[in-house]
Amino acid sequence: MLRILYFAWLRDRLGRPGETLPLPPGVDSVAGLISQLHARGGAYAEIFGRPELIRVAVNQSFATNAATIAANDEIAFFPPVTGG
């Protein structure tokens, strides 16, 4: 099962801090997971329709949308972080 975490405005828009779901068939990358989440519609479509506005970590390490994922991974989505 994938453990998906949502942070900051993503959590607020989805109304949940995360979820657990089986790795969808044929999905082996962050990009594939984003596509699956986008297809849910509603707030998911709004958030994941613009993947350039979110960042991702796989198993607590920053990753790109091309990163490979597998069952039992933890995927975290969050907004870009800036410093000042």
**Predicted pLDDT of residue 83:** 57
16 inside domain: yes
Q: What is the span of the domain harbouring residue 43?
A: 2-78
- The torsion of the CA quartet 42, 51, 13, 5, rounded to 10 degrees, works out to 110
Report how many domains make up the chain.
1
pTM equals 0.93
**Predicted pLDDT of residue 81:** 74
List the chain pLDDT tens, one digit each, 84 residues: 999 999 999 999 999 999 999 999 999 999 999 999 999 999 999 999 998 889 999 999 999 999 999 999 999 999 987 655
**Predicted pLDDT of residue 27:** 96
- Burial of residue 74 (CB within 10 Å: 0-12, 13-18, 19+) is middle
CATH number, domain of 39, equals 3.10.20.30
83 inside domain: no
48 inside domain: yes
